Amino acid sequence: MPLAVKKQAIVIIGPTGVGKTDLAIHLAERLDGEIISADSRYLYQGMSIGTAKPSPSQLMKIKHHLIDVADIDKPWSLAVYQREAKKVLDEITAKGKLPFLVGGTGQYVFCLSEGWKIPAQKPDYRLRKILEEWANQIGREELYRKLCILDPQAAELIDYRNMRRTIRALEVILSTGKLFSSQRQREPVNYLYVMIGLTRSRGILFQRIDQRIDQMIESGFIDEVDNLLTKGYGLQHPPMSAIGYKEIALYLNGQMDLSESIKLMKKRTRLFVRRQANWFKPTDTRIKWFDLDQIAAVKIEEYINSNRS
Ordered by start, the domain boundaries in the chain are: 3-117+186-218+277-306, 125-183
Mean pLDDT of the region 50-72: 96
For residue 129, what pLDDT is reported? Answer: 85
Of 57-66, 137-146, 253-262, the least confident = 137-146
Q: Which of 102, 11, 105, 6 lies closest to 63, judged by CA? A: 102
pLDDT in tens, 103-112: 999 989 999 9
Q: Looking at residue 5, what is its pLDDT?
A: 55
- Mean pLDDT, range 27-44, rounded to an integer: 97
- How much is the average pLDDT of 277-288? 90
What percent of the chain clears pLDDT 70, i.e. is strictly above it?
96
**Phi, psi of 197, deg, nearest 5:** -105, 135
| Band (172; pLDDT cuts 50, 70, 90) | confident
Task: For the chain, give the longest Cα–Cα distance.
Answer: 60
CA distance 16 to 54: 13
What was the pLDDT predicted at 277?
86
Percent of the chain with pLDDT over 90: 67
pLDDT digits (tens, 9 = 90+) for 203-213: 999 999 999 99
Q: Check residue 309 and give its pLDDT.
A: 66
DSSP 122: P
Where do runs of H (alpha helix) occur along 181-257? 202-218, 221-230, 245-252
Mean pLDDT of all residues in 113-119: 85
Q: Which of 210, 198, 206, 215 is nearest to 282 (CA)?
A: 198
Compute the distance between CA of residue 85 and CA of residue 302 in angstroms, rounded to an integer: 26
The domain at 125-183 falls in which architecture? Orthogonal Bundle (1.10)
- pTM as predicted: 0.84
Q: What DSSP designation does 191 have?
A: E
Please classify residue 71 by burial: count the beta carbons closer than 10 Å to its beta carbon, then call 0-12 exposed, 13-18 middle and 19+ buried. Answer: middle
- Fold match, 3-117+186-218+277-306 / 125-183: no
pLDDT at 3: 43
Q: Is 61 a residue whose pLDDT tops 80?
A: yes
Over the chain, what is the mean pLDDT? 91
Which of 210, 202, 184, 194 has its CA nearest to residue 266? 210
Q: Return d(Cα 14, Cα 209) in angstroms, integer.
A: 13
Nearest to 179 by CA among 119, 228, 126: 119
Identity of the residue numbered 30? R
Residue among 250, 268, 252, 266 at smallest CA distance from 215: 266
- Gap between the Cα atoms of 109 and 101, Å rounded: 7
pLDDT for 128 equals 85
Sequence-ordered strand ranges (E) for the chain = 7-13, 33-37, 64-65, 98-102, 116-117, 185-186, 191-199, 287-291
Is the CB of residue 103 less than 8 Å from the CB of residue 42? yes
CATH of domain 3-117+186-218+277-306: 3.40.50.300
pLDDT band at 119 (very low <50, low <70, confident <90, very high): low
Q: Is the pLDDT of residue 41 over 60?
A: yes
Is the model's pLDDT at 183 over the cut of 90?
no
Cα–Cα distance, 79 to 76 (Å, whole number): 8
Task: Identify residue 82 by its one-letter amino acid code.
Answer: Q
Type of residue found at 40: S
Q: What is the pLDDT of residue 1?
A: 39
DSSP 148-159: HHH-HHHHHTS-
Residue 157 scores a pLDDT above 70: yes
